[in-house]
C-alpha cells in the first residue's frame, strides 16, 4: 500500500485514537487504557499504512489479517477500526454496554475484527493457523499478531513460536508490546522474562527491536518483516504503558482502570491534546 | 458379532473425504499413529500438521485455519484435549467456527495405561460449552457416518469421542447419522435402557437376560449427547415408565445427567444412572474393567430389574 498519509498525519490520527480510548473507558467506567495507549501508534501505522484491508470489502480473501492477541486492549483496536471506517465513530460510546456489540474484550462479529480474544496466549496460534491457510491457498497476504509482554508468560505462546518456526511461516509477523507493566505490577518483578530477543531468536524467528511510538521505526520494521519470506518475524516494540497521559504512564494501576474522576478525565484529554 | 476399530475407520474416512475436498486439513499432537490421522498425513502431507506435544497451540492453530476457510479436524487422546479447555472455549466455540475435535482413547477401555489416561469427565466438560456439539459413536459404521456428517453438514464446533478398543459392529452398512436423533436398537414396553458407546452392546445383552425374566426392555443408542433426542427420551418415559442409562463415563454431566434433565423437566419417571461413580479408572484389561467398576452386562441387568420392580438400591 502506498504511503498516502504522512507521518504527521499518522501521529494526528493516533492522537484522535488516544482521545477515543480515554472517552471509552471513562464512559464505560471500566476497561484497559494502559495497554491500549501503548499499542495505538502501532495500530494506526498498521491500519493506515501497512494493512491491506478495506471497510468496503471486509471479507476479501486476499486481505491481511490482524489478531489482537492481548484482547483487553480492545479500546485501542475499536478506536482504530472506527477511524478506519469499519465501525461508526459514534458507536464507540457503546463500549462495554449491553445494547452494543463492542464487548469488553475483542469480539469476532464486529466489522474488521478477525477473531475473539481476551483470554491470553491464544492469538499467536490463531496467527499460525491463518498463515498456514494462506499458504495452502497460495495467497501473498500477511498475518499480524499483537502480543502483550505479560501475555508471553503463557506457555502456549512459546508452543506457537515453535510452530511458526517449524512451518517457516514467512507470512507471519508478531509484534510484542514491550511496555514492562502487567496487572499486578512490573513484568520483571511478576515473572522476569530477561532477554526476550535472544529467547525468541533461539526459537528460530527473525527478531527486530524498535521504538513502538515512532511511526517511522514501526513502518521500517514492518516493511523489513514483509521482505522476510522464509521465517516469521517478531518485532519487539519498546513502548510506554499509558503513553500520552502522564499519570497513567508506567503505572500498573491503569492497566485496567479508567480515570477516577471527571477532573482526571479532563486532565487526560488535555494532555493528549486536540486532534 | 464382529468387532472393529473406531479410530481406524476414522482414519480411513478422513482419507476418503480428503481425496474429495482440498479444504480438509488435519492436526495432531504427536499421536497420529494411535489416533490414525497418520493415514491422512501420509496421503496429504501438505494438509496435515503435526504440532508436536503442544495441544494448546494445536487448538488455537486449528482456529486460525478455520478462520482462514479450512475444514479442520483435530485429534489427540481425549484426556490431553481437555488441557486446552480454554482454547476450545474462546478460540473455537466463542468464534463458532468449523473445527471438529475427534478424540480417541476415551474412557476406561484405554485399559492397561490406567487412570491417568482414562478420562471419564470429557463429555461433561465439552457439553457445557455453548455452540459445541457432542457425539459418542457406537461402532465403526456410525463413526464413518459421523465423520461424513461432520464434513458435509456441520460448520460449527463439535466433539466426537472415540476409543482405543474395537467395538462390536451393531449398525448396518447403510446407516446414516442424524445429529440429535437416537436409534432404537430394540423395542420394549416395560423399561428403557438409554446407552451410548460400548454400553449399547452390553445393554442389548442385558436386555436378553431381562427377557428371560419376562421383562420387555427397550434399548436406545443415544450417540448424540448434545443436542440430545428429547422426543425419544420423553416417549420412552411415557411408554415404558422407567429408564436406566448406561455410559462409559462419569454419571456426572454425561448421558445419564442429560437424560435425567429431560425427564425431570418434561416427564418425571424413575431414572437410574450406570457409569463411573465419582472415581478415577484403573490399570487392567479393558473389558475386565467393566466388571470391576460394575458396568458389565450382569450389572446392567441387575440394576434394570431392580428399577423395573420399583426398588431403590443405589
CATH number, residue B128:
3.40.50.970
Mean pLDDT confidence for B103-130: 97
Asked about B112 being catalytic, the answer comes back as no
pLDDT of the residue at B311:
77
Pairing of strands B271-276, B3-5: unpaired
Q: Which of A129, A167, A174 to mutate to test the interface with B (most CBs of B within 10 A)?
A: A129
Last residue of a domain, one of B143, B168, B193: B168
Last residue of a domain, one of B168, B197, B214: B168
Q: Judge if the upstream peptide bond of residue B45 is cis by omega within 30 degrees of 0.
A: no
Same domain, B145 and B187: no
pTM: 0.96
- Which residues lie below 8 Å from residue B140, measured CB to CB, with a gap of 6+? B4, B5, B6, B8, B9, B167, B169
- For residue A110, the 8-state DSSP code is B
Q: Which residue has the cell 446407552?
A: B195
pLDDT band at A90, cuts 50/70/90? very high
* Domain contains A158: yes
* Domain contains A268: yes
pLDDT at residue A146 tops 60: yes
> How many domains, in total, are found in chain B?
2
Residue of A117, A143, A163 with shortest CB distance to B57: A163
pLDDT of the residue at B312:
64
* Domain contains A185: yes
Cα Rg of chain A, angstroms: 17
Across the interface, whether the CB atoms of A125 and B61 are under 8 A apart is answered yes
Same domain, B151 and B50: yes
* Domain contains B106: yes
Strands (E), chain B: 3-5, 24-28, 48-50, 71-75, 99-103, 133-135, 158-161, 166-168, 183-186, 191-195, 217-221, 224-226, 243-250, 271-276
CATH label of the domain that carries residue A207: 3.40.50.970
Mean pLDDT confidence for B75-98: 98
Same domain, B119 and B208: no
Same domain, B133 and B230: no
* Domain contains B260: yes
Same domain, B14 and B141: yes
pLDDT of the residue at B1:
85
* Domain contains A2: no
Mean pLDDT confidence for A163-179: 98
* Domain contains B178: no
**pLDDT tens digits, B128-174:** 999 999 999 999 999 999 999 999 999 999 999 999 999 999 999 99
Is the separation of the CB atoms in A181 and A250 below 8 Å?
yes
Same domain, B57 and B105: yes
Residues of B whose CB is below 8 A from A160: 54, 57, 60-61
Backbone angles phi, psi at A29, to 5 degrees: 60, 25
> How many domains, in total, are found in chain A?
1
Q: Which of A125, A127, A144, A203 to mutate to test the interface with B (most CBs of B within 10 A)?
A: A125
Same domain, B78 and B142: yes
pLDDT of the residue at B313:
54
* Domain contains B23: yes
* Domain contains B81: yes
* Domain contains A147: yes
pLDDT at residue A1 tops 50: no
Domain containing residue B114: 3-168
Same domain, B191 and B163: no
Residue of A119, A125, A131 with shortest CB distance to B57: A125
pLDDT at residue A43 tops 60: yes
Mean pLDDT confidence for A16-31: 98
* Domain contains A168: yes
* Domain contains B173: no
Last residue of a domain, one of B105, B133, B168: B168
* Domain contains B174: no
* Domain contains A1: no
* Domain contains A54: yes
**pLDDT tens digits, A182-206:** 999 999 999 999 999 999 999 999 9
Closest alpha carbon within chain B to A59: B68
Same domain, B127 and B190: no
Taking the C-alpha atoms of residue B40 and residue A274, their distance in angstroms, rounded to an integer, is 59
CATH label of the domain that carries residue B234: 3.40.50.920
* Domain contains B313: no
**pLDDT tens digits, A69-80:** 999 999 999 999
Q: Which of B55, B247, B248, B305 is catalytic?
A: B55
Domain containing residue A88: 7-272
Closest alpha carbon within chain A to B59: A125
**pLDDT tens digits, B26-49:** 999 999 999 999 999 999 999 999
Same domain, B106 and B199: no
The mean of the pLDDT values for chain A is 97
Q: Which residues of A touch B (CB under 8 A)?
A: 61, 65, 108, 114-119, 121-134, 136-137, 143, 155-156, 159-160, 162-163, 166-167
Amino acid at each position: 500500500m502506498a504511503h498516502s498519509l504522512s507521518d504527521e498525519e499518522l501521529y494526528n490520527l493516533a492522537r484522535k485514537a488516544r482521545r477515543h480510548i480515554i472517552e471509552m473507558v471513562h464512559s464505560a467506567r471500566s476497561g484497559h487504557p494502559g495497554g491500549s495507549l501503548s499499542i495505538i501508534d502501532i495500530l494506526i501505522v498498521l491500519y493506515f499504512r501497512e494493512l491491506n484491508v478495506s471497510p468496503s470489502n471486509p471479507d476479501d480473501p486476499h486481505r491481511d489479517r490482524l489478531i489482537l492477541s492481548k484482547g483487553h486492549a480492545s479500546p485501542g483496536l475499536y478506536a482504530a477500526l472506527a477511524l478506519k471506517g469499519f465501525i461508526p465513530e459514534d458507536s464507540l460510546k457503546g463500549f462495554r454496554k449491553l445494547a452494543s456489540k463492542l464487548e469488553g474484550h475483542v469480539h469476532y462479529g464486529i466489522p474488521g475484527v478477525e477473531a475473539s480474544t481476551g483470554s491470553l496466549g491464544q492469538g499467536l496460534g490463531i496467527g499460525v493457523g491463518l498463515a498456514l491457510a494462506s499458504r495452502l491457498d497460495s495467497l501473498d497476504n500477511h498475518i499480524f499478531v499483537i502480543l502483550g509482554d505479560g501475555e508471553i508468560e503463557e506457555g502456549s505462546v512459546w508452543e506457537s513460536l515453535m510452530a511458526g518456526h517449524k512451518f517457516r511461516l514467512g507470512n507471519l509477523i508478531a509484534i510484542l508490546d514491550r511496555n514492562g507493566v502487567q496487572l499486578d505490577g512490573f513484568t520483571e518483578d511478576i515473572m522476569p522474562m530477561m532477554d526476550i530477543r535472544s529467547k525468541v531468536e533461539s526459537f528460530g524467528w527473525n527478531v527486530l527491536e524498535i521504538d513502538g511510538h515512532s511511526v517511522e521505526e514501526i513502518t521500517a520494521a514492518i516493511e523489513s518483516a514483509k521482505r522476510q519470506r522464509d521465517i516469521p518475524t517478531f518485532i519487539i516494540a519498546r513502548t510506554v504503558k499509558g503513553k500520552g497521559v502522564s499519570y497513567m504512564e508506567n503505572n500498573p494501576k491503569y492497566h485496567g482502570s479508567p480515570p477516577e474522576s471527571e477532573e482526571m478525565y479532563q486532565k487526560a484529554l488535555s494532555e493528549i491534546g486536540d486532534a | 458379532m464382529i468387532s472393529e476399530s473406531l479410530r481406524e475407520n476414522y482414519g480411513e474416512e478422513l482419507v476418503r473425504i480428503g481425496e474429495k475436498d482440498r479444504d480438509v486439513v488435519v492436526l495432531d499432537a504427536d499421536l497420529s499413529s494411535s489416533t490414525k490421522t497418520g493415514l491422512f498425513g501420509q496421503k496429504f502431507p501438505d494438509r496435515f500438521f503435526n504440532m508436536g506435544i503442544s495441544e494448546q497451540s494445536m487448538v488455537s492453530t486449528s482456529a486460525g485455519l478455520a478462520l482462514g476457510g479450512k475444514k479442520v479436524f483435530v485429534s489427540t487422546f481425549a484426556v490431553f484435549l481437555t488441557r486446552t479447555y480454554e482454547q476450545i472455549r474462546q478460540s473455537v466455540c466463542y468464534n463458532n467456527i468449523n473445527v471438529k475435535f475427534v478424540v480417541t482413547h476415551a474412557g476406561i477401555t484405554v485399559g492397561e495405561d490406567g487412570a491417568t489416561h482414562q478420562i471419564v469427565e470429557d463429555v461433561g466438560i465439552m457439553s457445557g460449552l455453548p455452540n459445541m456439539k457432542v457425539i459418542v459413536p457406537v461402532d465403526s459404521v456410525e463413526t464413518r457416518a459421523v465423520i461424513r456428517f461432520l464434513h458435509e453438514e456441520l460448520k460449527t464446533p463439535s466433539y466426537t469421542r472415540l476409543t482405543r478398543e474395537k467395538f462390536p459392529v451393531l449398525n448396518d452398512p447403510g446407516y446414516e447419522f442424524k445429529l440429535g436423533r437416537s436409534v432404537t436398537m430394540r423395542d420394549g414396553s416395560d423399561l428403557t435402557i438409554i446407552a451410548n458407546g460400548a454400553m449399547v452392546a452390553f445393554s442389548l445383552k442385558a436386555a436378553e437376560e431381562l427377557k428371560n425374566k419376562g421383562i420387555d426392555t427397550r434399548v436406545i443408542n443415544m450417540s448424540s449427547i448434545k443436542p440430545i433426542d428429547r422426543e425419544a427420551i420423553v416417549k420412552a418415559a411415557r411408554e415404558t415408565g422407567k429408564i436406566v442409562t448406561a455410559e462409559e463415563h462419569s454419571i456426572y454431566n454425561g448421558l445419564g445427567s442429560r437424560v435425567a434433565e429431560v425427564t425431570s423437566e418434561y416427564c418425571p419417571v424413575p431414572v437410574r444412572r450406570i457409569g463411573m461413580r465419582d472415581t478415577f479408572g484403573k490399570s487392567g484389561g479393558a473389558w475386565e474393567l467393566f466388571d470391576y467398576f460394575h458396568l458389565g452386562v450382569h450389572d446392567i441387568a441387575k440394576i434394570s430389574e431392580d428399577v423395573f420392580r420399583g426398588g431403590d438400591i443405589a
